[in-house]
Amino acid sequence: MTTLNKDLLKLFFITILCVLLIPANYCENIDIVVNKDSVDYNYLLNYGLYNITNIIHNNDRPLNKISVYKINNTTVIISKEFNKIVPAINNQLNISFNNSKICVEFNTYDNGLKYKKVEYMDVINLDSDNIFIRFYGGNNKVLKYGDDYIEFECHKKFNISGDTLKYKNLTVKIIAIGIVDGDLYIDAKWNNTDIKKTLKGTEDSYINTPYGKLWYSKSESNWSAKTNKSFVFYLECVKTVKDGDILSTKDGNFTVHIIDNGEHSKIIAYELNNPENLPNSFRFFDYNITYLKTDKNDVSLFLISHTEKNKISNITGQLMLIDNIYNIYLIKKDSNLLIYVNGEEVNNITISNKLKSSSVKYNIYDDDNYNLEKSNNKVYLIGGPVSNKITKKLLDKLPIKITNENPGRYSGVVEKIKNPYKNNSTIYIIGGSDRKGTLGALLAYNRGYYHDNKYLVVKYRSNKIEVVNKSN
């Protein structure tokens, strides 16, 4: 046997031995070091550290997915999926989105919890020219209202993989598909009515049904696929809810309350009936609510998942920012509606940013009580040298030396070095010349600007991050 073959054989056995010695439930250990008396600690609590902290969760990045679909040259549909972990104290969970709120009351026990009250509330501003109300995932225009009722538009989406849509007494069958343009020739039947019509795939091409206006969304459909074609339809209808109504939905039965909220405002509330029968994880008004645990401080933690869909039509002006985290703009040029993401034109866009399950064990240490020389773990230092004593200790070893003047006002750095005391571990420094710079660096890390570079320099002003410099 040659020397080379012997060496390869040795390497093979060493590799097998290492695999056998690594436990199946191996979990990376991470130390987060911050001055707990500084504003940097508040930043960490409020925004977290993406993909590391499970319970101290980043509220800056609750967004999982955003989709923008152009229906025609005047209308787009924007769909956003959110996930966030929300703490609850005094056995009350409150979840707020814009003018909407979910209130949950519960009691905890050793083996879980029991819900006492679950209620969704929407505040309606009656002074607005266009009044909208949230109802099951949509932002719906109010048509009229009175002391004890509200009438509004609503939209129901159908995604079909075959050639037939069925809804109550309505049956719509796809007879033919335009090979070039994707138009659908359909046969719609209900009761004694039979209508055959071509749907162009835009909102202004529709059929009137007993349940509202039905139209086909070509831009959301996979009509050109050779196999596994899919088609998206929308049903626009009018719904009226009255005070005291009991509505039956797939999520259960709930009672409607319409409440005066001053001269120019109303509250519409939906109270779930029999909440005591709910499991730990349940769905309510397009919100998935999951009880996680109650910690040693009697703080209960819930995972909240939510999908929000809005239709934007009749774009006013030539430029509209629709998402500032992912830098998505709508641009009106002549008779065309354009979608731009990070400076590039796209047709329809879906950006996914799924929050990954953390496979790490982390501890948060105060900079006064941390010994870097004894740590074998990966380390994250939050804060510049003025705030964080460990950052100050490593200042001469940083690729970008952080001072009050460098990288400058409102500027921060994400950078990494080898631990000078433990060569097998890595240290990440997230800090700035001032508190705004540190916040900007933390947000840049959370929003995915940093890709394990040697360093990344950013400026943070008016809630916008500008990349100033970065290494390969």
Instruction: Output the DSSP codes for 182-201.
Output: --EEEEEEETTEEEEEEE-S
Side-chain-side CA neighbours of residue 338 (13 Å): 13
Helices (H) and strands (E) in the chain, counts: 4, 33
Q: How many CB atoms lie within 10 A of CB 184?
A: 24
Neighbouring-strand partners of residue 366: 34
pLDDT of residue 17: 35
Given a cut of 70, whether residue 468 has pLDDT beyond it is: yes
Spatial distance between the Cα atoms of 95 and 102, rounded to a whole number of angstroms: 5
Q: Are 270 and 120 in contact (CB under 8 A)?
A: yes
Q: Name the average pLDDT for the chain.
A: 81
Q: Is this model's pTM higher than 0.95 or not?
A: no
Given a cut of 90, whether residue 341 has pLDDT beyond it is: no
Spatial distance between the Cα atoms of 285 and 97, rounded to a whole number of angstroms: 12
pLDDT of residue 54: 39
pLDDT of residue 23: 43
Could you read off the pLDDT of 417-453 as tens digits, one per residue?
999 988 788 999 999 999 999 999 998 887 778 888 8
Q: What DSSP state is assigned to residue 89? A: B
pLDDT of residue 46: 67
The pLDDT confidence band at residue 9, using thresholds 50, 70 and 90, is: very low
Lowest mean pLDDT among 104-108, 138-142, 416-420: 138-142
Given a cut of 60, whether residue 55 has pLDDT beyond it is: no
Residue ranges of the alpha helices (H) in 22-89?
39-47
Asked if the peptide bond before residue 275 counts as cis, ω within 30 degrees of 0, the response is: no
Q: How many CB atoms lie within 10 A of CB 347?
A: 10
Q: What DSSP state is assigned to residue 58? A: -
pLDDT of residue 352: 60
SS3 letters across 255-283? EEEEEECCCCEEEEEEEECCHHHCCCEEE
pLDDT of residue 357: 39
E strand or H helix at 306, and its extent? strand 300-313
Given a cut of 90, whether residue 139 has pLDDT beyond it is: no
